[in-house]
A and B are shown apart, each in its own frame.
Chain A
Amino acid sequence: MLAAEVSHIVKSFADKVAVDNLSFSVAQGEMFGLIGPNGAGKTTTIRMMMDILKPDSGDVTILGEKLNEATKNRLGYLPEERGLYKKLKVLDSIVYLASLKGMDRRSATDKANELLNQTGMSASNNKKIEELSRGMGQIIQFIVTIIHDPQLLVLDEPFAGLDPVNTELLKGMLAELRNQGKAVILSTHQMNQVEELCDRILMINNGQDVLYGDLNEIKARYRGNSVLLDFVGELGEVPGVTGKRTHKGYTELILDGKTTPQQVLAHLMGRGIVINRFEVATPSLNEIFLKEVGKKS
């Protein structure tokens, strides 16, 4: 059973098509990246998945069924712009929102205390939300998102505004959730986070699918015909290399269309050149993003 399946959804606002015939699926135990520039339609897509907005056409299936009260209880959602009841105490806020996910008061309180402890926030459980810093508020909201042990987590820009320590804390918790078999949809602009965490991605622009699939496969598709080399000694002529670009700490060798990186490596080793680094040049997701978004716009 797929954690989420979106097929051919369309959503228009007034005269603007926000999401245009978008389809994708997310498997259980998968970390899925939803990326795209501002206004691409990421949040609208997420809101349709959460049943906050109704699609004009198309279908959304969550955990094998149309979203209903029972499936909502197995879903955790962290919206991009976050907020909680300012006047309510931390523990009361968590317990109330957990109860709306079907948890009883006692188990919600126990689990809230456990998570507050895990995130180092147990001293704040009696504070009012308005007394917390922005980062602390975000951690509380993350706790609200995961407290009911959801099967599918949808996180919109979860690392925005977090300091490095809390970012690492969150990443660790997400990795743990994935290891437990939960599906995580990560919508973010931070490509390095997607590269680090996600198995598959969907890149959208102007509401349409731009790139979709396994992250490594996509990167391989965009792999250029060059290798990165850090060496000691004299390089001289290398067969099959048509050009060299010197960067700080390494040299990029541009290969002709026929020569493979393995052949170049074998040649260099045969000449006894000391190699500190040899890497097939692969563009970063950020470069792919800029290239694709630039091309479409």
Chain B
Amino acid sequence: MNKMLLIFRHEFRHTIRRKAFIILTLIVPALALIGIGIFQLVSPGEPPLVETVTIGYVDEVGGFDQSTTQGYIELVRFDTSGDATAALINGDVSEYFVIPSDYLSTGVINRYTLKRQLETPPAISTAIKNFLTSNMLADKVPPETVYRIEAPLSLVTTRLTETGEVATEQGGYGNVIIPAIFGLLLALSLQASSMYLIEGLGDEKESRLIEVLLSSVSPRQLLTGKVLGLGAAGLVQVVVWLASLPLLLNLASSTIGGFFGTIQLPANFLVLGIVYFILGYLLFAALSAGVGAISPSAREGQPLAMIYAMLVFVPLWFASLLFIFPDSPIWVVLTIFPLTAPVAVMLRLGVTGIAAWELATSLAVMVLSIVGALLLSVKAFRIYLLMYGKRPSWGEIIRSLRTG
């Protein structure tokens, strides 16, 4: 078998057997399954019965005697505040309110309760508001109008395509959630793959095994086999996540429903997810090979790699700003800058979509960066591969890369 393939197979097998790799790969579907399972365990089969709450009121204006049932809240009239207070103390009502005689001119309603609260619970204030509205409008407008005044707006937005047809992707938070989670996982996977590469090279340098390997294979075969082997393992991880997403989504929307029913995978998400993983991985691998080459051990290489490995997370730090300022030019910059592109593209796919020219530029810049990083790293790899002990200074590295 070709020696590069032997190294590829060795690195791939070695990586997919790592505990950290297995945990990171399986934790995503496992956590989602556990979440769905817990939801099913704790959620009852039928909607819960809500206990009726009785609250009292004193009508000093007169005429507030209709619509005394507001959902699960029952309103009971008392003649005086004294009667209502006695009922509150006896526990006959959970609270009461007084409609003062000057209510129509002031709008003030006095509420009395035994509980200490930060503010009036929304359900109570809505019930009181609807009770007052219904009574004031009774006999003046039809009941349907009363309902409409109480709930005047149920906004349904439909996104159209440029040809005027209803778009398949309707946007909203349901469209964002999966790309955002996948963006985070992609960043973790890219970071982990880079660290594995640096660790592997560092260990081989530290144990001097690299000399035995280089007496059997060329530096090019060694580097290519390693990069592809680790990349294939990373790809397996990403494919497991991507493949499990639609399945988990179906399971979640059929068992939990609600918000999960609205979750959609943006168009091209799966394809772009894989493309950006592969390109992102190649870029990080090329950089990591360079770092691995100039570092005497994995311990010294990893802090150096953290500098660029952290950049992959930058779009996630600013993700909340994407919802507020989706058209800010900073997002175009993050989409085109090769180290932030993989995660930025995933996030933007779910929120606003990405213009074709931006995607094309982003992909082109990534490919060029990979080629550039690879050329420099292979050079550094050849020069510093057998360097043990102290890491060379940046000045020395730049000088030796220039002179070759």
Contacts and interface: CB of A to CB of B under 8 A. Distances in A.
Nearest to B213: A100
Interface in A57-84: 69, 72-73, 75, 77, 79-84
9 contacts: A82-B207, A82-B208, A83-B207, A85-B207, A96-B10, A97-B212, A97-B216, A101-B216, A144-B212
Contacts of A244: none
A219 interface: no
Contacts of B386: 47, 52-53
Contacts of B14: 85, 88
Interface in A78-116: 79-86, 88, 96-97, 99-101
Contact of B209 (A69, A75, A80, A85): A85
Nearest to A84: B209
Contacts of B217: 69, 72, 100
Interface in A8-64: 47, 50-53
Nearest to A137: B207
Contact of B211 (A50, A69, A96, A101): A50
Nearest to A144: B212
A69 B212 contact: no
Given A53-B386, A100-B3, A83 B209 contact: yes
A104 to B, nearest CB: 8
A84 B210 CA distance: 9
B13 to A, nearest CB: 10
Top 4 A-B pairs, shortest CB-CB distance? A83-B207, A77-B215, A100-B216, A79-B211
Given A53-B386, A72-B216, A100 B211 contact: no
A141 B212 CA distance: 10
Contacts of A80: 208
Nearest to B1: A99
B216 A79 contact: no
Specify which of B1, B209, B217 lies most central, judged by the most chain A CB atoms within 10 Å of its CB.
B209
Nearest to B10: A96
Interface string A140-162: 01001000000000000000000
B184 interface: no
A83 B1 contact: no
Contact of A77 (B1, B7, B212): B212
Contacts of A99: 1, 6
Given A69-B218, A77-B215, 20 more contacts: A50-B214, A50-B215, A51-B215, A51-B218, A52-B211, A52-B214, A53-B386, A69-B3, A72-B215, A72-B217, A75-B215, A79-B208, A83-B206, A86-B207, A88-B14, A97-B216, A99-B1, A100-B216, A100-B217, A101-B216
A32 B213 CA distance: 24
Nearest to A145: B212
A101 B211 CA distance: 14
Contacts of A88: 14
A80 B206 CA distance: 13
Interface string B182-194: 0000000000000
Interface string A104-133: 000000000000000000000000000000
A80 B209 CA distance: 11
A83 B208 CA distance: 6
A83 B7 CA distance: 17
B115 to A, nearest CB: 62
B213 A77 contact: no
Contacts of B203: 85-86
